[in-house]
Structure 1
Amino acid sequence: MSQQVLPFYLVCDESSSMNGAPIDAINKSLPELHQEIGGNPVVADKTRFALISFNHQAQVLLPLSDLSNVSSVPGLNASGGTNYKEAFDLVRDTITQDVAKLKADGHQVLRPAVFFLTDGHPNDNAEWPAAYQRLTDPGWGPRPNILAFGFGQGGHHDHSAGGHGARIRRRWLAQPGEGAAGVRPVPDQVHRQLRDLGQRHGRHESRDARHGPRFHHHPRRCHMKFSKMQEPAPAVDFVPKKEVPESPEFAGPVNYGNPHVKAGIPRGLPATWKGGQDTVIDGADFPGLTVRGASIRGDDHRYQKEVRQDAMGMWTLSGPGTSEVLLVCAADGVGSQPFSHRGSMLACRTLHEEIGQHIEPMLTEGQGSEAAQKLFESIAHRMTVLAQNWGMEPKALSTTLVAALVELTPPGAPRRCLAFGVGDSAALLLRDETFTGLWDDSHDTGPISDTATAALPTHFSSVASAEVQLGAEDVLVVCTDGLVNPMRNEDVRAQMSSWWRREAVPGLLEFAWQLSFRAKSFGDDRTAVCVWGR
C-alpha cells in the first residue's frame, strides 16, 4: 500500500559527558515518546521512526520503523567520547538507504526530520563541520530538516566551528547545572516539534480559527401566536403484526494498509466557529446524466477535533442559447492557514456567483483556457476584497479549487465538458476502466515529495484546464488531494474503478460510504464530485 511517509530520526549523544541526569532523562523519555507517537494515529500513520546513538562512534539502535508495530525502544548507555562527524555521516548514509527503499516500495516520501540531542562537547571540531555541510547540502535531494536540543552548559548555546561556516542552533532541555528534575520532558518537546513539521509538510493540520473577525447580530422583533391547548389523544398500543427480522451489521469503511486502530475516532466536536459539518452529501439525476458528491472530514481532523477544510458545490445554470449546464466543484483549504476552511467554502460560492458571464466562452472550442483564467482572476479579486473587509490577510483564506462545466444535452448527444482548476486538487476521467488525469501532475517526481501547492486568492499564476467529450460510459471526477493521493495506490484505483463503472450508479449514501475508505497515512479531508455520462 503506497503511503505518505515522514522519516523521523532521533539522534542521541551517549558519550561520557552525558552521564547522569541527561542520559537518565532520555532513557525515561524514550518509552513515553514511543507511546505518544505510536498511540496517536495522526502521527503514527505518517511517520517512520529511527533511533541513532553516538559517542566516539555511531550506530543505528532502531532501524526506520512504524512505532505502532514496535514493542519497545532500546535505551542508551553513556560512555566514550563525542564525535559529531560519525553521527552526521551515519545519518546521511541511513537517510540515503531509507529514502531509496521507501521510494522503491511506492511511498511518497516527505522531507526527513532529524532531532539531534547532545550536551554540545564534541571532540572533533576540525572534522564535524564538513560532515554537517554534506548532510545539509541544498543540492542533496533528501537533505533533512534538523532541530537540535541541548543539555547543560554546552546545550545552552549555539555551536559553531570557527572558519568552517557550520553552525548548529539548539533548543535547550536543561539549564546549566540543573539535575534530572530540571530537564524538560523530551517527548513533549519532540512531539510538539514533530506535529509542527507535519503541519508544514502535509497541509493536514489547521490552526485554531476561533479568533476571527467579529460579526454583530441585530435582533428582530418576533411575534408568536398561541393556540388553545388540546386534550391529549388516548394512548394506542402498538403491536407488531410479525416479528422483525434481525438486520445485518453495517459494513464499516474499506481499509488499506492497516490504518491505526484509533483512526477516524471523532474525539469531540471542533472548537472553531464558522465551520462546516463533518460530512456533506449531494447529488441529482438528469436525463442521461447522474451526479454524486460527498465531502468528508478526514480521520486526522476528526481525531484532533478540527473542522473539515474541504468544500464542494453543484448547480445547474443557464448555458449558451436555451441550453442548461451543470457546474460542479471541489475545494481544499490549505491546512497551514487559519481560515482556510472558510476560504474553501467562499471559493465555491464565489465561483457560482461569478461564472455566469464566462460560460459561453468557456464552452466555445479553443476559448476555454483563457476564459477560465479570467474567471479565476475575478474569484481571487473578490476573495481578496472580502478578506480585507473582514480584517484579515487574504492568504489566511488560501484554498485550492477545481471545477467542471458539463453540458446537459439530451441522452445520446455529445456532451462538451471543460474542467479547470488551481492547486493540487484534480480532475480525472474514468474511461475503459482507467483513470486519467486531465492535466499534468508532477509534484512527486523527485526523491522527496513536494507538498507545496498553488492556491487562491494570492498564490497562483495560471489555471490548468482541459476540454473533453463526456461519453455515455465515462465518469468525470473532480476531487481534492484527499482522494488523489491514496489513488496513486493500485488497489485503491482498482476499487474505485470497480465501484464507479458498474451499470447502476451508487445512491447518495452508498457513494459517501465508498469515498470514506481508510488508508494508512492518508487522513486528510476527502471530497469528490462524480458525473456519470449515462
Structure 2
Amino acid sequence: SEAPPAGAASDLPPPPPAFLPARPAEPVTGPGGGGGRADYVGSGPPTYDAEPTALPPADPDGLDGQVPDTVLDGARYGTCTLRAVSVRGDSARYRGEPRRDALLVARFGAGEQALVLVAMATGARAAPGAHRAAAEVCRWIGRAVGRSHDRLAEDLRAARRGDLKSGLHRLTDRSLGRLRAGAAEQGLPPDEYAATLRCLLLPADPGCRTRVFFGVGPGGLLRLRDGAWQDMEPSAGDVTGAPVLGYGGAPGDTTRGGTGVPGGDAAGGTPGGDRLTMDLGVAAAPGPYDGPPAEPPREPFRFRASVARPGDVLLMCTAGLAEPLLSEPELGGLLARRWTGRTPPGLAEFLVDSGVRVKGYADDRTAAAVWEA
C-alpha cells in the first residue's frame, strides 16, 4: 500500500475461468493524453515520482551487500522465453530504503537436461535486514535445487508430480528453516528476519511442457491464455486436510478472489489427473532429495504443476505486482493487450510493461513471465 510522502488444446482439461474480461481494455494513453506509452493506469498519477529519488544508506565496510534499484534477466530454453525483473517500489525510492525483493535466475545442467530456476523473495516489512533475508533465502533454495537438479529434471520429464511436490516441499522447508536459524543467531524474532519465497522450475527439454510453481507466502501466479488472465494461485486448502484432485484443488474448491479455479490442471498425468495426499500438517518423511528433515514453514506450502500450451504467458510475481493486477482490471487489461499474440518483449520493454503504476500501490515489484512458443 501507498502512504503519501511528507511534503510531497481439446485433450487438455478446460481452462480455469477468466477473472478479467477476455476483451482487453482500450489502449491507455500516457499522462496528459498524449497517446504515448502509459506510465500509470487509474484515475490519476501515483503520489511518488516514477523515477528513483534517494539512494539507500551505504556501509563502507559492507558494500558487497548493496542492492541495486533494478535487476533485469532473461533467457530462452526449450519452447519458452523467460523475462524477469525486480524493481524497488516508489515508496522505497522516495525514502531511500533498499529493495526488499530479491530475484535469482539460474540454469543448472546443460543441453536438454538443463533446469531453469526462477526464485523471488520479499523480506519482512519495516525490518532492517529484510533485503538480506530475501537474498539469502533465494540463494539457499537455489543451492538446494541446484544440488538436486538431475533428479528434479528427471521427475519433470516423467511427470512424477508426487515426488516433485514432496521433494520441493522438503527443500523449501529447509531453506526457510535456515532463515529462522539465522534470525536466532542474530538475536532477532523470527518474524523480523523472514521472507516469502516463490519459485518456478522450467525444463530446457522442448518435449516437456510441464511448468512447476512452488513456494510459501503471498504473491501471484497467473496465466494469460486467449487474451484473458486466469488466476492459477494454489489455495492454502491444497496443503492440509483431505486428499486433493490435481493441482488446483479438489472439485468445488475456490481460489482467492472468488475466481473458482477448478482442479485438474495436471494434464499429461494419470487418467483423471494425479490424486495426491498432501502432508496433513506433519513434517515430511525422508524424500528423494538431499538433506535431513526440517521444521515446516509457518505459512502453507503451495505447489502447482501445469501444462503449457503454445501462446500461453505464465506470470509469477510478488505481492507488489499481484495486488494491483488482481485489484485493478485496467492494469490487467493493458498487460493482456500488450502480451497477447506477439513475440516476447525485450528486457527493456518488459521492464516498462511490468512497471505500469497504479495509485495506492508503491511496494517493490518482482515478476517473471514465460512466453510459450
Task: Name the TM-score, length of structure 2 as normaliser.
Answer: 0.67
Q: In structure 1, what is the equivalent of residue 139 of structure 2?
A: 349
Q: In structure 1, what is the equivalent of residue 57 of structure 2?
A: 271
Q: CA deviation at 1:42?
A: 4.7
C-alpha offsets along residues 175-220 of structure 1, whole Å, 9 cap, x if unaligned? xxxxxxxxxxxxxxxxxxxxxxxxxxxxxxxxxxxxxxxxxxxxxx
Output aligned runs, 1:107-122, within 5 Å: none
Q: CA deviation at 1:322?
A: 6.5
Q: In structure 1, what is the equivalent of residue 317 of structure 2?
A: 479
Q: In structure 1, what is the equivalent of residue 336 of structure 2?
A: 497
Match of 1:290 among 73, 81, 88: 81
Q: Alignment partner of 1:366: what SS?
A: helix
1:304 aligns with 2:95: yes
Aligned residue identity for 2:71: V
The CA distance in 2 between the partners of 1:425 and 1:262, in whole Å, is 23
Aligned residue identity for 1:268: A
Output aligned runs, 1:414-453, within 5 Å: 414-438=208-232, 439-440=234-235
The CA distance in 2 between the partners of 1:261 and 1:486, in whole Å, is 15
User: Quick check: 2:46–2:358 contact (8 Å CA) kept in 1?
Assistant: no
The CA distance in 1 between the partners of 2:101 and 2:351, in whole Å, is 14
1:409 aligns with 2:248: no
Aligned residue identity for 1:472: P
Q: In structure 1, what is the equivalent of residue 368 of structure 2?
A: 529
The CA distance in 1 between the partners of 2:187 and 2:339, in whole Å, is 44
The CA distance in 2 between the partners of 1:423 and 1:317, in whole Å, is 25
Structure of higher CA gyration radius: 1
Change (3 A) 1:282 1:265: closer
Change (3 A) 1:487 1:519: same
User: Quick check: 1:332–1:425 contact (8 Å CA) kept in 2?
Assistant: no
Output aligned runs, 1:47-196, within 5 Å: none
Match of 2:71 among 280, 283, 297: 280
The CA distance in 2 between the partners of 1:431 and 1:440, in whole Å, is 21
User: Quick check: 1:476–1:532 contact (8 Å CA) kept in 2?
Assistant: yes
1:41 aligns with 2:8: no
The CA distance in 2 between the partners of 1:257 and 1:463, in whole Å, is 37
The CA distance in 1 between the partners of 2:363 and 2:310, in whole Å, is 32
The CA distance in 2 between the partners of 1:336 and 1:459, in whole Å, is 21
Q: CA deviation at 1:518?
A: 1.4
Q: CA deviation at 1:393?
A: 4.1
Aligned residue identity for 1:492: L
1:365 aligns with 2:328: no
User: Quick check: 1:265–1:303 contact (8 Å CA) kept in 2?
Assistant: no
Worse-matched range after superposition: 472-481 or 310-319: 310-319
User: Quick check: 1:282–1:508 contact (8 Å CA) kept in 2?
Assistant: yes
The CA distance in 2 between the partners of 1:301 and 1:283, in whole Å, is 25
Q: CA deviation at 1:467?
A: 0.8
How many residue pairs were aligned?
281
Aligned-pair identity (%): 28
Q: Alignment partner of 1:485: what SS?
A: helix
Q: Alignment partner of 2:162: what SS?
A: coil
User: Quick check: 1:334–1:340 contact (8 Å CA) kept in 2?
Assistant: yes
Q: In structure 2, what is the equivalent of residue 520 of structure 1?
A: 359
Unmatched runs of 5 consecutive residues or more in structure 1? 6-39, 45-67, 69-248, 446-456
Q: In structure 2, what is the equivalent of residue 377 of structure 1?
A: 173
1:331 aligns with 2:170: no
The CA distance in 1 between the partners of 2:6 and 2:344, in whole Å, is 36
Match of 2:301 among 463, 488, 498: 463
The CA distance in 2 between the partners of 1:252 and 1:43, in whole Å, is 27
User: Quick check: 1:297–1:307 contact (8 Å CA) kept in 2?
Assistant: yes
Q: CA deviation at 1:268?
A: 2.0
Q: Alignment partner of 1:373: what SS?
A: helix
Q: CA deviation at 1:492?
A: 0.7
C-alpha offsets along residues 438-471 of structure 1, whole Å, 9 cap, x if unaligned? 21386778xxxxxxxxxxx986243110111122
Unmatched runs of 5 consecutive residues or more in structure 2? 9-34, 60-64, 237-254, 259-294
Change (3 A) 1:423 1:272: farther
Q: CA deviation at 1:366?
A: 2.5
User: Quick check: 1:368–1:467 contact (8 Å CA) kept in 2?
Assistant: no
Task: Name the TM-score, length of structure 1 as normaliser.
Answer: 0.48
Q: CA deviation at 1:371?
A: 1.6
Output aligned runs, 1:393-408, within 5 Å: 393-408=189-204
RMSD: 3.1
Aligned residue identity for 2:305: E
Q: Alignment partner of 1:303: what SS?
A: helix
Output aligned runs, 1:198-213, within 5 Å: none
User: Quick check: 1:41–1:263 contact (8 Å CA) kept in 2?
Assistant: no
Q: Alignment partner of 2:161: what SS?
A: coil
Aligned residue identity for 2:72: I
Aligned residue identity for 1:258: G
Q: In structure 1, what is the equivalent of residue 239 of structure 2?
A: none
Change (3 A) 1:275 1:250: farther
Q: Alignment partner of 1:332: what SS?
A: strand
C-alpha offsets along residues 35-82 of structure 1, whole Å, 9 cap, x if unaligned? xxxxx73589xxxxxxxxxxxxxxxxxxxxxxx9xxxxxxxxxxxxxx
User: Quick check: 2:48–2:91 contact (8 Å CA) kept in 1?
Assistant: no
Q: Alignment partner of 1:354: what SS?
A: helix
Q: Alignment partner of 1:328: what SS?
A: strand
Q: CA deviation at 1:425?
A: 1.8
